[in-house]
Amino acid sequence: MRILHLLNHTRRLNGHVHAAVDLACAQVKLGHTVAVASGGGDFDQLLTDHGVECMRINQERRPASLAMGLRLLYRAVDEWRADVVHAHMVTSAALAWPVCRVLRRALVTTVHNEFQKSAVLMGLGTRVIAVSAAVGQSMQKRGISRARIDVILNGTIGSVRFDGKDRTARSLETPAIIFVGGLHPRKGLPDLFAAFGSVHEKHQGAHLYIVGDGPCRDQYIATVNAMECNGAVTFTGPTDEPFPFMKGADIFVLPSHADPAPLVLSEAREAGCAIVATEVDGIPELLEHGKAGILVPPGDPSQLAKVLCGLLERAEVLEEWKRNSQYNVDYLRIDRVARDTLAVYANATRKVGRAVTDK
């Protein structure tokens, strides 16, 4: 099968880019011909090294750029003989829809960020992939037929992005509690700071690590600096390799208020952390509905603090939840995601009545 992935860019900034890069490379390993068309970015060399052809199509939301992008995409789909166009963002889906209609190609879309109002446009796909059942339900509420939605839960284990990287555990002050992600409101970090303030009163040896960057970083640093526990909180800044931090930590916390299917939970589980996360969106699915991690209500620092104290007070309980993180962890492998996605492609190509060009 000839598969063309369509992205705004291939920079490291967004989880949807990581997911698309992982998928494209995994599909090449399975014997398919794969290309990525985007505005370019950090992952182009990695894609090329793993047999994925990179095409440059500017998708900036400006009339001239979009008009040129539409022409280039038409030419790419036609001349490259794509069987499937897989769009990962709203602009990509909007550009691909008329091209696929005219050329009678299957358009598959993946909804990565359903909390965005514009995500309804992902319904333009012949088939619509939701990265969790929660996302699928949300898209149904927006008017997308359940019959066109396929749920494929995110997974990163086995990603080529990790090949050859040093994944040795970082030496952290223990017991170490860690957060990895973007520093912006929907991640719920003020709840974690409030909870850790309470935890630190009882367990002054505990240390909190905040790994990542984002628009609220200065605000969050100021918040922590005003707390008595400030000496026990470290903001590491951004890193391309968060896994060693997770490998060196005891507890991974994700206090999100909204999170469709965060890739970081796959990595935290692979790292063997005890995991505490909020019961929102796709998080329960990634934690086997509480079998692989402890679920807490969002926006409830007191409950979060209670759970963290429970883990810190009893070493045997902490070790039990580290073991629990490995429950059915192989389901989060990228090769499973790739196989499930190929089944969606087969369905989509039958829908448009087109035989595939090659494997």
Residue 58, in any domain of the structure: yes
Half-sphere exposure of 187 (CA within 13 A, CB side): 22
**In this structure, what CATH number is given to the domain that contains residue 38?**
3.40.50.2000
Instruction: Assess if residue 171 is contained within a domain.
Output: no
62: number of Cβ within 10 Å: 11
Please report, rounded to a whole number, the percentage of residues in the chain having pLDDT higher than 90: 91
Tell me, yes or no, whether 314 and 343 share the same domain.
no
User: Residue 47: which of 62, 37, 58 has the closest Cα?
Assistant: 37
Q: Classify residue 195: in a domain, yes or no.
A: yes
Number of domains in the chain: 2
Residues 343 and 304 in one domain: no
68 vs 63: CA distance, rounded Å: 9
Q: Do 141 and 18 share a domain, yes or no?
A: yes
Helices 15-29 and 263-271 pack at an angle, to 10 degrees, of 70
At which residue do the structure tokens 């170490």 appear?
A: 176
Sheet with 233-237, strands from edge to edge, namely: 233-237, 207-211, 176-180, 251-254, 274-278, 294-296
Domain assignment present for 161: no
Q: Is residue 166 part of a domain?
A: no
Token digits for 198?
A: 């309470």
pLDDT score of 354:
64
Check residue 355 and give its pLDDT.
Answer: 61
Residue 142 in domain: yes
Per residue in 233-280, pLDDT (tens digit) is 999 999 989 999 999 999 999 999 999 999 999 999 999 999 999 999
Range of the domain at 316: 176-332
134 and 42 in a single domain? The answer is yes
Buried b (16+ CB within 10 A) or exposed e, 326-344: eeebeebbbbbbbeebbeb
pLDDT bin (cut points 50, 70, 90) of residue 116 is confident
- Judged against a pLDDT cut of 80, whether residue 137 lies above it is answered with yes
State whether 141 and 197 are in the same domain: no
Kindly report, residue by residue over 299-341, the tens digit of the pLDDT. 999 999 999 999 999 999 999 999 999 999 999 999 999 999 9
Residues 292, 187 within the same domain: yes
